Structure formats: C-alpha cells, structure tokens
Amino acid sequence: MDESVIESVMGRSLRRAARGLRRDFGEIENLQASHKGLDSFVAAAIKSASDQLLSDLSEARPDFGYQVQGFKTRKGKERAREGAYGSGTYLWVIDPLNGRMNFRHARDHFTLSLALVRNNSLIAGAVFNPIRDDYAFAERGRGAFLNRRRLRVGRRQKRAQTLIGLWPGFERWHRQELIERLDWFRGCAGTRQSGSQAFDLVDLAAGSLGAVVQRPLSWCAVAAGVLIAQEAGALVSADDGRSLTPDSSGLIAAHPDLHVECVAGMAARASDFTKN
C-alpha cells in the first residue's frame, strides 16, 4: 500500500500521542490501590494524549476543524462556521483513548482513534493500539489495512458460526436494553465484550468477528473503525437499519451475509422492550 499524505499525517500524529499513553500505561499497576488517584491519573493521561494530537494535527492542517471525545466540536482557524460538523469542509474526529476501562485496569486492549470527515463524509480512519503496536488504516476507495496487511471480512457466514462483538455502554439501563434486544442472537456462536468499540470494528474487518452491535453510540469512538470496516467489505448502519449518522442511537456492522438478519433481530425485540 502506498502511503498517502493524509495517512502520513494521521499515523505520525497518533504515534506521537501514543508515546505518553504507553508510558502512563506502565504506571497503572502501581496506582491500583488508590481509586481516586487512579481516576485523576487516567484523566490526565487522556488530556495529555488529546493535547498532543490537537497540537500536531493543527500544525499539519490549521484549517481543519476537530471534534474530540468528551468535548464540543471546535472549528478550524479559517473555516470557522456555525456548526462545524454540519458545514465545515474538513473535520478531525478524535478519541484519544478508546477503551478507558481497560486502560484503567491495566489491560492492554485500548486504542487511539482518528478519523477525517469531508463535507459530512468519512474519507480516512486510523486506529492504533500502542501496546500491541497494531495500526489499522483505511482511506475511502483504497481499502483497509492492519499493519500493512489488507483486511477483508470473512468468507460467507451463518449465524450459528458467528462471533458477535457487543458494546452495551456503562450504564445499567443501557446493558439491560441491549440484553433485551439481543434475544435473537442466542443462536450465534458466542458474544464478546472487548471494551474497545474502535477495535471491535477492526476485528470485524479482519474477519475475527461476524458482526458488531453497539448501543449507545459514541461517534468519536467509532468513526475511524466504521470506515475501516466498510473498506473491508462490511455493511454498517444505525441499529434500526437506517443510514448511520453521528446522532444515531446505536450501530450494527456486519458481514454482508448477516447484516439484514442482525437488523431484523434487533427490531424484533425493540417494541417488546419499549412496552416493558
């Protein structure tokens, strides 16, 4: 795969921001005894990674706006318009630490996630795990890659042979709602909750998962992974089957053989949950 200019900017920025996260991850085990101190430490690690990313990206592309997980959308220096996401030409969509609970508990399954949007359309996405040194990248129309290896969703799949990646959020009622809606998926080979929405989509692109169901949706966490999954051949939609937008309530990404079934399975339980 020839490296494009935009991939060079994204990859360089992610790896620079990852240096601090990698260092901080090494200190986590020493802080496990103090929850208060640990929470402050994780928050500082996230802020440091976010600041580094914004500094590098703003220097490389000062006209681009940006949207960061946990913060309001910001606008580029010269393209400042009302509602940057809806009207700005280019927008970085950033999650400086996807898999926060894993990081907090010294599990190495976390990522930095960075996507580029042009006129409301995803055009590039990168997901990087700095501990495992796994780097996934996709550019619209050019395919998806993990450590320079091209990604494709698996061969034809049936529900009974499929592993499904789940993201039920942190709140108890979110988990209960997803459990209620997932009754249809009892016939699959199993479900997995990795704790990283972004890398679940990379695993789908690599064929390790047959489908990914996430509810509620965090757009900054999934934007890069969505494009990677799409470029690998997966179908991605909102959890009601409509087109996915940053405001969608949930996400279904799946092998083409399974997507319609997944959407139907979620919809079949939705009315029952609403009645309860």
pLDDT at position 82: 30
- For residue 77, count CB atoms less than 10 angstroms from its CB and return exposed for 0-12, middle for 13-18, buried for 19 or more: exposed
Helix (H, G, I), strand (E, B) or coil at 68: strand
Give residue 179's pLDDT: 63
Concatenate the DSSP letters of all residues of 212-274 into one string.
Answer: EEESS--HHHHHHHHHHHHHTT-EEEETTSSPP-TT-S-EEEE-TTTHHHHHHHHHHHHHHHH
Instruction: DSSP for 120-185, please give it.
Output: TEEEEEEEEETTTTEEEEEETTTEEEETTEEP---SS--GGG-EEEEE--SSHHHHHHHHHHGGGG
* Spatial separation of the C-alpha atoms in residues 241 and 267, rounded to whole Å: 9
The pLDDT value given to residue 58: 93
Q: According to the model, what pLDDT value does residue 78 have?
A: 37
Q: Which two tokens stand for residue 189?
A: 């080979």
Selection from 203, 204, 177 nearest residue 276 by Cα:
177
Q: For every one of its 276 residues, what pLDDT tens digit does the chain have, with 9 covering 90 and above?
A: 445 899 999 999 999 999 999 999 988 877 765 566 888 899 999 999 999 999 999 999 999 999 998 765 555 443 333 334 334 589 999 999 999 999 999 999 999 999 999 998 999 999 999 999 999 999 999 999 999 999 999 776 677 888 889 887 655 545 666 666 666 667 788 888 899 999 999 999 999 999 999 988 899 999 999 999 999 999 999 989 999 999 998 999 999 999 998 888 777 554 444 444
CA-derived radius of gyration, the chain: 18
Contact at 8 Å (CB) between 235 and 226?
A: no
CA distance between the termini of the chain: 51
Q: In what order do the strands lie in the sheet with 121-129?
A: 65-68, 90-98, 111-118, 121-129, 134-139, 143-146, 149-150
Enumerate domains of the chain plus CATH numbers.
Answer: 5-150 (3.30.540.10), 159-275 (3.40.190.80)
Q: What is the pLDDT of residue 244?
A: 96
